[in-house]
Structure 1
Amino acid sequence: MFQRIFLTALIAGTIAGLFTAGVQRIRIIPLIDQAEVYEAGEPHGGDAGADRTEEWQPRAGLERAAYTALADILAGVGFAFLLTGAIALASMRGYVVNAQRGILWGAAGFTIFALAPALGLPPAPPGVEAAELVQRQVWWIATAAATALGLGLIVFPRRLVYRVIGAGVLVLPYVIGAPKAPEMVGKVPAGLVAEFVVASLAAGCMFWLLLGALSGWLFHRLGRA
């Protein structure tokens, strides 16, 4: 079983990661480059800018594309292990997952790890003010966990009470509220920010649907081998 999970996650994650890297190279990286132009034009005021320590970032062009591809592949394999592990647990309970059903699992993954967190913390290009990193990470993890638990309670148990509890768990992160960014005005146009959000979510959706289909197909096929 472990070998089956490992091969499925490695192959599906690599393919989905490479696909996403291509999508980002064509659609998202150009938006990041545009946002950085606006970010570079923001004044830092007096000596504050001189004392500011710049975080390392890959240079635009081939270097950025290479690092993006590597990060996407690693993320793809990591998420593929989570998805394939869940598929394996479901298969042990008699639930057959193939490519078609894998797409549904991929849609669930997109909802858990991308769509639900984005409702409170939408993707943002460079130059857009955001809340503290630790606060965003905590809320993101809590929202993903709550969404996974809520969907699980809605889909798998047959008793209505569990589904009601699941619905309550789904909305809990938004009742608490996402961390707010400081009230500062950035120079990145609102249209560019909106375009970045849509492009990021679209890329994430394509990644998860492809990952789900590949994981379901490979896991099912390796089980028959």
Structure 2
Amino acid sequence: MSLFRTILFVAALAGIGSGVVAAGIHMVGAVPLILKAETYESAAEATEAPAAQAPVAHAHDAATPAHEHDADEWAPSDGFERNGLTLVFMVLTGFGFGLLLMAASELAGGIDGWRQGILWGFAGFAVFTLAPQLGLPPELPAMPAADLMARQIWWIGTAAATAGGLALLVFGRVPLLAALGVMLILIPHVIGAPQPASFETPIPEGLHHSFVVASVASSFVFWVLLGGLAGWLRPRIAALEANRALARAA
């Protein structure tokens, strides 16, 4: 029970700390780019609207769904609401990934110090950010994308394969296991990520590049902080739990 409490408290505290910092970086670096992309999206929709109203000028194949927005579709307003939701989402994400990181590290013997924690953070960054985004980079509004289900399947498969491959590389005791680990990491990229039918977009390439850099940077800081905080907190909270158990026994 004490181990479960330790994992829970460490994941919560590390998740809050890393989530708040990552949310701040995201608000400063990525949100302005998203807002700028939304202006391109609105301009493109305004340009397409007159053509859509013309009787014969532009027609869609019946089998091809048009890209439409519901007039009543909810979206967060700019400013406090958007930033507040970003903060809540990042903190919850930090808690969830903190639980995963702590569970995986406990299975491997536990984290003993912030240095080991940072290494686990690097692994988390490779599994959940670097490997999936090699095939599916972050997207801005008005950018084309492949089928959502196909992308989710590829993303989950890539993350799982990368995690398994890294485990074989780090904990495998024989060269054969290391070779299998490398193969496992490469398989999703050999298969290839799902791609959209067309790459046409009103978003400038430079804007998308800046968004990818900002997203990857905030994710890197998030994972390094999450791992480092988890590594720093884990032995301290474990010691507190042990002292509490001794006090109860006495």
Which structure 2 residue ranges, 5 or more long, are not aligned? 54-59, 61-65, 241-250
Greater C-alpha Rg: 2
Return the letter of the residue paired with 2:227: G
CA contact (8 A) 1:4 1:223 kept: yes
Identity in percent:
43
| 1:164-179 superposed matches below 5 A | 164-179=179-194
TM-score (norm 1): 0.94
Which structure 1 residue ranges, 5 or more long, are not aligned? none
CA contact (8 A) 2:122 2:224 kept: yes
Shift of 1:97: 2.5
Shift of 1:175: 0.8
CA contact (8 A) 2:114 2:232 kept: yes
Could you say which residue in structure 1 is the equivalent of 2:129?
Answer: 114
> Over residues 156-207 of structure 1, what are the superposed CA-to-partner deviations in whole Å (9 max), with x where a residue is unaligned?
0111110000000000001111000121411110000000001100100000
**Structure 1 Cα separation of the partners of residues 68 and 148 of structure 2:** 21
Could you say which residue in structure 2 is the equivalent of 1:161?
Answer: 176
CA contact (8 A) 2:111 2:117 kept: no
Return the letter of the residue paired with 2:196: A
Aligned pair partner of 1:195 in 193, 207, 210: 210
**Structure 1 Cα separation of the partners of residues 127 and 168 of structure 2:** 14
Shift of 1:96: 4.7
> Over residues 34-67 of structure 1, what are the superposed CA-to-partner deviations in whole Å (9 max), with x where a residue is unaligned?
0000011112542598964254221111110011
**Structure 1 Cα separation of the partners of residues 170 and 228 of structure 2:** 19
**Structure 1 Cα separation of the partners of residues 209 and 68 of structure 2:** 32
Runs of 4+ in 1 over 3 A off after TM superposition: 47-52
Could you say which residue in structure 2 is the equivalent of 1:18?
Answer: 20
Question: What is the root-mean-square deviation in Å for CA atoms of aligned residues?
Answer: 1.7
**Structure 1 Cα separation of the partners of residues 184 and 160 of structure 2:** 10
- Report the secondary structure of 1:46's partner residue: helix
Could you say which residue in structure 2 is the equivalent of 1:81?
Answer: 99
